[in-house]
Amino acid sequence: MKTSVIGYPRVGAGRELKFATEKYWAGECGAEALEATAAALRARHWQAQREQGVDFIPAGDFSFYDGMLDTAVWLGVVPARYRRLGLSPLDEYFAMARGYQGERGDVKALAMKKWFHTNYHYLVPEIEDDMVPEAGASRLCDAFLEARELGIKTKPTVIGPFTFLQLARFTGQKTAWEVRAALARAYASLLAQLRALGAEWVQLEEPALVMDLSPEQIRLFEVLYGDILAAKGTLKVLLQTYFGDIRDCYREVTALPFDGIGLDFVEGKESAALIEQYGFPKQATLFAGVVNGKNVWRNRYADTLRLVARLQSYCPSLVLGTSCSLLHLPYTLQSEGRLPEAYKEHLAFAEEKLGELFELKTILSGKTPTAEEAKAHNDRLFQGERVRDNAAVRASLEALSPASFTRLPEGKVREGIQQAALGLPLLPTTTIGSFPQTAEVKANRTAYRQGQISAEQYHAFNRAKIAECIALQEDLGLDVLVHGEFERSDMVGYFGEKLEGFLFTERAWVQSYGTRCVKPPIIWGDIARTAPITVSDAVYAQSLTTKPVKGMLTGPVTILNWSFPREDISLRKCAFQLALAIRAEVLALEAGGIRIIQIDEAALREKLPLRKEDRQRDYLSWAIPAFRLVHSGVRPETQIHTHMCYSEFGDILPEIDAMDADVVSFEAARSEFELVETLAACGFRSQIGPGVYDIHSPRVPGVAEIRAALHRILKSIPPSKLWVNPDCGLKTRGYAETVPSLAHLVRAARETREHLSP
């Protein structure tokens, strides 16, 4: 029995890559220092996998920002606007990721979207009509040689051509079929280079195969790989899929001469049944994804061993692997000194997943005392109940009725009531919630957590920052204000810390995009609110101004999707527990005089099943009601907002409208406002705030740029339905960018209002 890992976390257990990259951006270190940090991390990650006996260690899974961006650069798919800047290759790469504003020009970043149904974000390659993809200098070959110099044998891995084409954006007239031949030649050239370097296996990652596919898409896949595999020679090619099963194209995949096929048996509901129904090619090795690469709970060996026995009767050549890249997990439990052992023994982060693969490999390779003890210890972990139910929470769930999910009166009636109550101008301006988290803000929070300052000192500092934030927004002329969220390091973790049922870590960081890392909490037990969470700060902020201040909450679906969920109860039950907790906070804010309450559902789409046939039954049937449960009890004059970011929403807009929020803000700027026309076409009821500039880029948008965006939006959206706001919270930006950007936003909105006035 052998083992394989699809990919490994790359930012470093101490976020070394994050800090080195941000120093490079700030001009505090050079490219050589950044490359040295990267090389040290790669070596450390390869060594960790070798020490755990991994037989197929990936090389090429490391990235300075994103794997899709790396693939685009290798293929020469670099839009002209970046090439014209005349930057170094590394700076051109970062310009594509973050935008550029300086002496060489002013360009926006590539669009950024969620990587399938994860919280990781990828950059969307743009294929222009004059582009001919071709194999350029590849860091993949360099990584293979780098590992070999360390005495480590690796399997080079790269995003496959089919997934690249499915996720890329064609900006002109060209289609995927028209670039298919050139793309196949580029991949065939890469295989030839790797074969010449002595590689035995190469992993081509094709997660797009687990989605709904049309006959034309399947044919494109077949033609692409027919050309590529014809040129592979002695090199063995592993087609690696993840995030689901390949039910639409299983027979086409297994008919091609792949040497290995990687299937997901965690999220792939039909993977085992497909093998049993159609068989598995005798010449191929099955790379079975049996260790969960997305959740932190220990693998239940008894279940995995039964599955492996079931598969081996069809696939004599079988390799145990992870269900997806371990990129979506924290590094190691060894960094968690404060987490009690009684909790830790039930958990497995990336490094512990390697240990699970090793133990499963040992158990399956023959009975030894070590193997027997590993199996017995694992069995004991799953005996008995890990947590006790909260009787009060259970009673609240049982008391829910259809009326619990319905707000009255209907939205059209509420709109008029709220306009009269709030008296807002046409095109009201606001922000999404957070203001910059400066070093001073972070230091105050750290000092409080470490016991260096008292609670009184901590809260006094935050009150002073709230007062500054309110004053700044009034000076800028914003219409609806926020308190700035200086008490929150994370929009999910902050609420989890105030609710029963969560576990928190010290250093369990996970990459979200680029250098942005998050620390998802772990849902351990039943969830309950025992005290007010945000009311005091919201009421204080409102006392400082006559303008409305939004109460800022995170919605139940986002808290669930950005946490590591329980596996012993349904997601539906967990979402409704969270909804009841946040509902209590909503009603408390309203009672405190807060007239606008924003309940962010940034991650609503994140866990949406990739296949349409699974969406209503497995997700939307509880995700939409969970949000409605949160706000169904408020008065008509209380305006409910929600925010969603960096996803494709076009195919679930009716469901989003059914959430019955009064105002919905979306990310729109980075995707060139593509969503706006779709909103208009589907008759979207709610008022909308399509973000008019991209906060994930350090560039400052000009007044004319924002005004042009508003005029474009107003071609599809009536002025009475439109709000003006950035596309996300401002916590990751500095005040040097934030203040002029918001000033330009307010001015552009005012000038557009004047243009609209009779």
Residue 393 covered by a domain: no
Residue 505 covered by a domain: no
pLDDT digits (tens, 9 = 90+) for 229-275: 999 999 999 999 999 999 999 999 999 999 999 999 999 999 999 99
Pair of tokens at residue 728: 């996300």
Q: Which residue has the higher pLDDT, 426 or 674?
A: 426
Residue 613 covered by a domain: yes
Residue 272 burial (CB < 10 Å; 0-12/13-18/19+)?
middle
Percent with pLDDT over 90 in the chain: 90
User: Which domain range does residue 650 map to?
Assistant: 398-436+534-756
Q: Are residues 431 and 292 in the same domain?
A: no
What is the arithmetic mean of pLDDT over 76-92?
Answer: 97
pLDDT of residue 683: 83
Q: Are residues 23 and 113 in the same domain?
A: yes
Which one of 316, 346, 381 terminates a domain? Answer: 381
Angstrom distance (rounded) from CA 24 to CA 19: 9
Angstrom distance (rounded) from CA 749 to CA 429: 7
pLDDT digits (tens, 9 = 90+) for 12-41: 999 999 999 999 999 999 999 999 999 999
Please determine, for residue 387, whether its predicted confidence score (pLDDT) is greater than 90: no
Identify whether 755 is a catalytic site residue.
no
Element (DSSP H or E) covering residue 626: helix 621-631
pLDDT of residue 282: 94
CB-based contacts of 715, cutoff 8 Å, min separation 6: none
CB atoms within 10 A of CB 571: 19
What is the arithmetic mean of pLDDT over 45-61?
Answer: 98
Percent with pLDDT over 70 in the chain: 99
Longest dimension (CA), the chain: 86
Angstrom distance (rounded) from CA 267 to CA 246: 11
pLDDT of residue 670: 74
Angstrom distance (rounded) from CA 199 to CA 553: 51
Residue 387 covered by a domain: no
105-107 and 100-102 as β-strands: parallel, antiparallel, unpaired? antiparallel
Q: Are residues 304 and 419 in the same domain?
A: no
Mean pLDDT across the chain, nearest whole number? 95
Angstrom distance (rounded) from CA 283 to CA 137: 32
Confidence band for 154, pLDDT divided at 50, 70 and 90: very high
Q: Are residues 420 and 375 in the same domain?
A: no
Please determine, for residue 160, whether its predicted confidence score (pLDDT) is greater than 80: yes
Name the nearest CA neighbour of 535 among 488, 489, 487, 591.
Answer: 591
Which one of 356, 381, 406 terminates a domain? Answer: 381
Q: Which residue has the higher pLDDT, 580 or 648?
A: 580
Please determine, for residue 681, whether its predicted confidence score (pLDDT) is greater than 90: no
Q: Are residues 377 and 402 in the same domain?
A: no
Q: Are residues 408 and 282 in the same domain?
A: no
pLDDT digits (tens, 9 = 90+) for 697-744: 889 999 999 999 999 999 999 999 999 999 999 998 999 999 999 999
In Å, what is the CA distance from 525 to each residue of 468, 564, 581?
A: 39, 12, 14
pLDDT of residue 371: 86
Q: Please give the single-letter amino acid code of residue 421.
A: A
Query: Residue 402 is part of a domain; what is its CATH number?
Result: 3.20.20.210
Q: Which residue matches tokens 């994140």?
A: 606
Q: Are residues 548 and 649 in the same domain?
A: yes
User: How many Cα atoms sit within 13 Å of 683 on the Cβ side?
Assistant: 2
Q: Which residues are 123's β-sheet partners? A: 112
Q: Are residues 429 and 355 in the same domain?
A: no
Task: Answer positive or negative: Cα dihedral of 682, 687, 692, 696.
Answer: negative
Please determine, for residue 138, whether its predicted confidence score (pLDDT) is greater than 90: no
Residue 723 covered by a domain: yes
Please determine, for residue 606, whether its predicted confidence score (pLDDT) is greater than 90: no
* Contact present, 157 and 200 (Cβ < 8 Å): no
Q: Are residues 22 and 105 in the same domain?
A: yes
Lowest pLDDT segment from 233-237, 405-409, 490-494, 737-741: 490-494
Confidence band for 757, pLDDT divided at 50, 70 and 90: low
* Active-site position among 631, 641, 643, 696: 696
Q: Are residues 267 and 345 in the same domain?
A: yes
Number of domains in the chain: 2
Angstrom distance (rounded) from CA 53 to CA 42: 17
* Contact present, 321 and 288 (Cβ < 8 Å): yes
Angstrom distance (rounded) from CA 26 to CA 372: 53
Residue 345 covered by a domain: yes
Q: Are residues 377 and 405 in the same domain?
A: no
pLDDT of residue 21: 98
pLDDT of residue 651: 82
Which one of 338, 356, 381 terminates a domain? Answer: 381
CB atoms within 10 A of CB 389: 11
pLDDT of residue 650: 75
Q: Which residue has the higher pLDDT, 757 or 109?
A: 109
Q: Are residues 346 and 411 in the same domain?
A: no
